[in-house]
Amino acid sequence: MSASSVGSNCQIHETAIIGDGVRIGDRVTIGPYAVLTGPLEVGDDCWIGAQTVLGAPPEIYGHPHFASYTEASDGFGVTIGPRTVIRELTAVHKGSERPTTIGSDSFIMNRISVGHDCQLGDGTIAAPAVTFGGHVTLGAGCNMGMNSTIHQRRVMGSGAMVGMGGIATKDVPPFATVVGNPALLHSANTVGMSRKGYDSADIDAIAAAYSEGSLPALDELSETAAQAFAWWNGLVTKPLLT
């Protein structure tokens, strides 16, 4: 694995550790005592907080742990999309079966655990102390409330939200708001859909279906909204709604 590379106009604190195999884009800020180990790619215009750890080994019992924080390890790494903020004391672990990814324009707040093999879509928002179990998959624009958790290997559809303290043990459908432990369907995430520019017809159809505890008929939705459900349907193994 090659040595690290750093783009232009970056601000990297002198106490940060940047290992081999780390590629950092342009205009990236990295705070004090952050630890970045390869293979790892950080996109342009990212902001990495103090004492953040990116690229630690998967937390799998018996999985080998590297001996050096400067040498790149074998296997799957981490990819952070451009314009993403990762706040202080957050840990993002390497993948064991696929790269661990955080999509572009995401806001990952403090003390968050992004487990091995997670793939978080563009525009993910995660409030403080959220836990993503290993192999979690999120569509674009998901929102995790403070101290919420999504169980390992679960799938959240685009625009879905887990309320504060919620524990999502099943796959959450697109544009749903779920709350509680275990998390149950509360309503459609109408505010989130409106902010993202979805038509009122989509919002009304999804809200009506969720009020009845069912999924909307895809032929009632726009192509964009229907595609979000088709993507989710193709990945789910333990759906919250059937």
Domain CATH for 114 = 2.160.10.10
Residue 141 belongs to a domain: no
* Residue 155 in domain: no
DSSP letter assigned to residue 119:
E
How many structural domains does the chain have? Answer: 1
Cα 24 from Cα 26, distance rounded (Å): 7
What mean pLDDT comes out for the span 82-104?
97
Of the CA atoms within 13 Å of residue 2, those in its CB half-sphere come to 7
**Could you tell me which of 102, 45, 44, 51 has the C-alpha nearest to residue 77?**
102
Cα(78)–Cα(37) distance, integer angstroms: 9
Please give the pLDDT value at position 242: 63
| pLDDT, tens digit, 9 for 90 and up, residues 149-191 | 999 999 999 999 999 999 999 999 999 999 999 999 999 999 9
CA end-to-end span of the chain:
45
Q: What's the alpha-carbon Rg for the chain, to the nearest Å?
A: 18
pLDDT band (50, 70, 90) for residue 87: very high
Residue 168 resides in a domain: no
**Cα–Cα distance, 24 to 18 (Å, whole number):** 10
Is the pLDDT at 1 greater than 50? The verdict is no
In terms of residue numbers, what domain contains 33?
5-135
